[in-house]
Amino acid sequence: MGTSRHDRPARRTVLVAAGCALVSVGVLLLGGAGGEAAAGLPEAGGTAWWVTVAGLLAQALALCWSRVHPRAVLLAVGLVPVAAALAGGRDATSLTTLAVVVGVYVAGTTHPLRGLVPTLAAVAVLMTVAGTIAAVDGGLEPWPALGVAALQATSTLGLVLLVTSWVAALRESGRAREDERRALVREHEALVQAALDRERTAMARELHDIAAHHLSGIAIAASALERQVATDPDGAREAARQVRRQSTSVLRDLRSLVGLLRDRDGGGGARPETLGGIADLVADVVAIGREVTWTVRGDASAADREVGPLAQLAAYRVVREALANAGRHAPGAACTVTLDARDPAEVTLVVRNGPAVGEPDPVAGGGFGLVGMRERAGLTGARVDAGPTGDGGWEVRLVLPREREAP
């Protein structure tokens, strides 16, 4: 059965283990070449020398799995100093401490230190035993040798654990910052997606308004054209001109909308969608054969000055949508559009239609209609009320606040 990927030594760990072996064995070779007295190391070729070399190589081999099996590796590298000391390695025993230090560092930076406490305590005991044996072989009394060995083991492991804890804290802080960055990226992506969804909804409403207004006019003009083509050629030609005019208008408005989406100029020839443009809107509807009356009460020019541009745009769109709805749901009904600018605090627009004369459009549905009207009005501080009238018709009332400049 093959070895699991997670049980294989990492390449970086293998390189660290090889470097550790190269350093410790190199020091042993250089020291042993000068004889037994050189730095207290065993003479090259002797039993203690070979045991120490074998122990150093065994430690390097064990370190290759220090990330995968940290406890077993720490115990293995901790036993080697004891074996080297028992074989008479004396000062060469300190060379085996390098692998112990590397093993503790690797284990502490890749695994929680809390779970390694018992193993680290056992390693400290093994290092103390090995240091005591080596010191006694060097001529030191047992109890002083034990004290020195214990001090060396605890100070070495303590320093390594201090560095390991600091590195682990830095890594944990880095992971926390990365997690925070990813969370911020996800939040930003969610906000962008929500903004895109709102833009798609707004674009759908704009397309609905444009298409509903102009296509309803085209349908009415085409119906008149069908009836007049044989009996009233002049009227049929006029209806054809209205179809062409409405088709041109819908293409112009769609082009303007696409231009806005591309962050370009919407077209210098487009009619401004303001309160003043509502009269032209009504004229276009009358031109296709519908009965619509435009009435102004009060000072319309003052209303143009004192109602904000966004509110005027919303008013224009609401009137256009209300007339389109009247054409679909109440064909043949007379309509009135009234601009009341007599109130010094607000301007009121009322679109009213009577009961239907013909059959309503069978494909006319709820769409965005009233929802879009109310949302547009709400964005500018205006309000929309819509509902049936007593004679069976329908009324849409839009109230726009005035924006007077402070003296």
Strand ranges inside 253-407, DSSP E? 292-298, 335-341, 346-353, 383-388, 394-401
**pLDDT above 70: percentage of residues in the chain:** 74
Distance between CA atoms of residues 56 and 100, nearest Å: 11
User: Which DSSP letter does residue 289 get?
Assistant: T
pLDDT at 225: 65
Length of the chain, in residues = 407
Report how far residue 191's alpha carbon sits from residue 270's, in angstroms, rounded to the nearest whole number: 33
Q: Is the pLDDT of residue 321 over 60?
A: yes
Q: What is the pLDDT of residue 136?
A: 80
* CA proximity to 10, closest of 77, 64, 61, 57: 64
* 335-341/292-298 β-pairing: parallel
Do the beta carbons of residue 352 and residue 335 sit within 8 Å? Answer: yes
**Between 235 and 383, the higher pLDDT residue:** 383
Report the alpha-carbon distance of residue 331 to residue 1 in Å, rounded: 82
The pTM assigned to this predicted structure is 0.43
Helix, coil or strand: residue 294 = strand
Q: What tens digit of pLDDT does each residue of 186-228 get?
A: 888 887 777 767 766 766 666 666 666 666 666 666 766 666 6
A 10 A CB-CB count for 365 gives 8
Phi/psi region, residue 88 (left: phi>0; alpha: psi -120 to 50; beta: rest), is: left
Give CA–CA dist 243/59, Å, rounded: 92
Q: Please state the φ and ψ torsions of residue 315, each to the nearest 5 degrees.
A: -65, -45
pLDDT tens digit string along 238-278? 767 777 676 666 666 665 655 555 544 444 444 457 888 89
